[in-house]
Amino acid sequence: MKIQNSELRIQICKCVIDFYHAEPPKKHITGYQQASSSYKIKMAEVGELAKTMIQSLELLENQLVEKLWVLKALQHLSTSEVNCTLMVKAQAASGICAHLNDPDPSGQLLFRSSEILWNLLEKSSKEEIIQQLSNLKCLLALKEVFKNLFIRGISHYDRQLRNDILVITTIISQNPGAPMIESGFTRDLILFATFNEVKSQNPLVKGLKLSNSYEDFELKKLLFNIIVILCKDLSTIQLLIDGKVILALFTYVKRPEKHKILEWSAAQYEELQLHAIATLSSVAPFLIDEYLFYKGNDQVLEFLAWCDNEDSFFSHGNSFHGAGGRGNKFAQMRYSLRLLRAMVYLENDTINKDLCENGAIQQLIGIFKNTISKYNDKEEAILLEIQSDILLILSGLCEYHIPGKEIFGTEGVDIILHVMKTDPKKLQSGLGYNVLLYSTLDSIWCCILGCYPSEDYFLEKEGIFLLLDLLALNQKKFCNLILGIMVEFCDNPKTAAHVNAWRGKKDQTAASLLIKLWRKEEKELGVKRDKYGKIVDTKKPLFTSFQEEQKIIPLPANCPTIAVMDVAENIRAKIYAVLGKLDFENLPGLSAEDFVTLCIIHRYLDFKIGEIWNEIYEEIKLEKLRPVTTDKKILESITAASENIGKMVVSLQSEMIESQARQDVQNEQKVYTKIQATHKQRELANKSWENFLARTSNAKTLKKAKRLQEKAIESSRYGERPPNAIFHRTDIKGLNATVPSGGVVTVESTPARLVGGPLADTDIALKKLPIRGGALQKVKAVKTVDEPKKSDPA
């Protein structure tokens, strides 16, 4: 290739190209066999042919024909990853890109060069390619090529090539070090992105108009995309303001007007609308003044009102941004809410105050309620995202704004309670219920806590019960947040009664649940406890395995130590705070094991203070400082006091365990006694049954039993019968039965002379059919005597 012979160079390139388009030989030469294409390609890779061809380009700067043949050969060679790696080492990307705008009437140079750049980006190190292209010379070449194709490109091929150049530019712009602004490329790209929506006097776009062809439609989306990337560089902000990007993008945040002629089709306009709103979500937070100047809040809320109404509108939902929005306005609602969320989370007082004054809180609560009524399985995921975003926006608006919390009110509490009643099984569905629950818990913290009417209403509607139900699910990702809410809620004096009244599975109380979570947390942290849950090391009663592994290192005063960080990194401090506000002494439903753990929780603050003082003492030793005598004594007494508290807790725990062991023995003895009584009763029942069978099957046994019964009856009677006593028999004569008769008393009828006959009207108003004859007699009064419950055996 160094030989200055055009035919030779072209023939070499043709040979290389033939490696990839080999034809079978027309004549077979005896004694020779043609090498296969795969072998030739492999040898080209081994021989680093691609690297040599890149180096040869430097010899052909003014020889267009040979250069085009070399580029054609490189186009074939760049289909291999091995060759692409070799080309990158030879700085192929910067070398080829710098000459993109060289004169070429055929247009092949630009086409083949762009194709090679694409292959290099796909088949080699993307970071290395971007680094090679991030120089002023390459960007100026790309800028001129793109500008010429944008303004003068007419054919389908020109438009495709223009879009390819823009994609390569987009990839380069991801590098913060690329001189996009210095090359003037950023200003031109912003102009091309907004000239259709904002009138410009720039001669570059004068009389220029995009068609609704597929290539121009793709170009518009690519321009929106590159604006999102460019805005990340703060140096671009002024260019975005000068280009009126916010105004251009807000032209899409409007309801589609009927009978208006659009340059785009309905499906294209919908996709561009969604893309523009998504672009606003990234750009508007950097251009707050512009957003407020164009009344962005008003426009977004008005657009949201259209999304929420029942107007007939058929969306196509064909694009990436339109997923889940076919036949409805959910996609537009989702991206509008994302824009609002991005602005609210800036915590800009002007923006948030403006939203509250425009009725955003009431409007968002109304939209949330409507999404509940519109719920269906097909759009479940997008509806959950919409609901999550609404709650996050409400949290941002109400967090530091008491009037906002008051506006949130009972209606807002109702939607939170609705979400909290969601079936826990759905949390594992992967559709977004987890995110919705996070948003709900965040809104409880920001929208309810601190507003006493809302807190009372939340308690009245059993919100604390729902929080504890969620806590009982024992999902670690929610525990910290729920416990934090519980700590804040316990400041309300009405909360303790609700917490103590809650009952979970197997009649579990809230205190028992919290203590169980403490034990689980300590087990995961590797805190040393014996099999009964007692403290093992009284000097370090709260030490985790991580703290044991990490040695104490002297730190500056403004840096938190491991002991301090431990408070924030696990839930033990929050459990201590909740139980402390519930009163450690009157917690219902605790077992002996719970009480043993409760001893540690009760002394958590004392232990933690001792732990921090111990760290201070150790740091002093490591820094080889000698405290004065008084300070040393104080440090030693603090350390000793902390250890004594640990010993006292261990002693108390031991007493509890021993007391429980004695109680267990007593309970066991009671159970055994009960079992013995049960067995004895069964034996008596069995014996009674055997006697019964014996009496029914053996006449002699029956007679014997009869005699014993009569003897028992006789022995129960008085020895001497009182005079004028009436004897009542206790058995029935002539009864043919194989078992003794029951207690039977024969009572003679009351004489008729006392009652006046069976047909007499008496004061007790009894009418009976006559049994005996006799005249009716009227008696003045009859004294009724209650029948005895049991007959007198005498």
The pLDDT score that the predictor gives to residue 790 is: 44
Q: Which DSSP string corresponds to 271-293?
A: HHHHHHHHHHHHHGGG-HHHHHH
Residue from 543, 564, 546, 566 nearest 555 by CA: 564
Query: Residues 78, 41: contact at Cβ < 8 Å?
Result: no
- Name the one residue in this structure whose structure tokens are 């280009």: 243
The pLDDT score that the predictor gives to residue 791 is: 42
Which H/E stretch holds residue 210? Answer: none
The pLDDT score that the predictor gives to residue 481 is: 93
User: What are the residues facing 535 on neighbouring strands?
Assistant: 529
The C-alpha atoms of residue 541 and residue 604 are separated, in whole angstroms, by 9
The C-alpha atoms of residue 123 and residue 335 are separated, in whole angstroms, by 35
Tell how far CA 330 is from the center of its chain: 21
Burial class (CB in 10 A: 0-12, 13-18, 19+), 728: middle
3-state secondary structure 754-774: HHCCCCCCCCCCCCCCCCCCC
Helices (H), 345-462: 349-357, 360-373, 380-398, 402-420, 433-443, 452-460
The pLDDT score that the predictor gives to residue 755 is: 59
Q: How many CB atoms lie within 10 A of CB 250?
A: 23
Distances (CA, A) of 423 to 420, 426, 429: 9, 6, 11
The C-alpha atoms of residue 420 and residue 232 are separated, in whole angstroms, by 38
Query: Residues 150, 223: contact at Cβ < 8 Å?
Result: no
Please state the length of the chain: 794
pLDDT digits (tens, 9 = 90+) for 180-203: 999 999 999 999 999 988 888 888
* AA letter at 708: L
The pLDDT score that the predictor gives to residue 314 is: 57
| Lookup: tokens for 544 | 């985790």
The C-alpha atoms of residue 298 and residue 339 are separated, in whole angstroms, by 13
The pLDDT score that the predictor gives to residue 212 is: 85
Distances (CA, A) of 285 to 66, 345, 514, 747: 52, 9, 42, 106
Q: What is the largest CA-CA distance in the chain?
A: 162
What single DSSP character describes residue 723? T
Helices (H), 199-311: 214-230, 237-242, 245-250, 266-283, 288-293, 296-308
The pLDDT score that the predictor gives to residue 624 is: 84
Separation of first and last alpha carbons in the chain: 144
Q: Which DSSP string corresponds to 142-195?
A: HHHHHHHHHHH--SHHHHHHHHHHHHHHHHHHTSTTS-TTTTTHHHHHHHHHHT
Residue from 154, 237, 149, 236 nearest 192 by CA: 149
The pLDDT score that the predictor gives to residue 256 is: 75
* AA letter at 678: T
The C-alpha atoms of residue 713 and residue 693 are separated, in whole angstroms, by 23
The pLDDT score that the predictor gives to residue 337 is: 95
pLDDT digits (tens, 9 = 90+) for 606-630: 999 998 988 888 888 888 888 888 9
The C-alpha atoms of residue 452 and residue 177 are separated, in whole angstroms, by 53
Torsion of CA 118, 119, 123, 129, to 10 degrees: -50
Helices (H), 32-125: 37-46, 49-57, 64-77, 81-89, 92-97, 108-123
Listed as ranges, residues in the chain with pLDDT below 70 are 22-27, 258-262, 311-327, 375-377, 718-719, 721, 727-794
Give the up-direction half-sphere exposure of residue 784: CA atoms within 13 A in the CB hemisphere: 7
What single DSSP character describes residue 448? I
The C-alpha atoms of residue 737 and residue 652 are separated, in whole angstroms, by 70
Distances (CA, A) of 430 to 373, 387, 435, 502: 22, 16, 10, 30
The C-alpha atoms of residue 510 and residue 506 are separated, in whole angstroms, by 12
The C-alpha atoms of residue 64 and residue 352 are separated, in whole angstroms, by 62
The C-alpha atoms of residue 67 and residue 112 are separated, in whole angstroms, by 11
For the chain, the C-alpha Rg in angstroms (whole number) is 47
**Cβ contacts of 472 within 8 Å, gap of 6 or more:** 504, 505, 508, 513
What single DSSP character describes residue 509? B
The pLDDT score that the predictor gives to residue 323 is: 65
The pLDDT score that the predictor gives to residue 734 is: 62
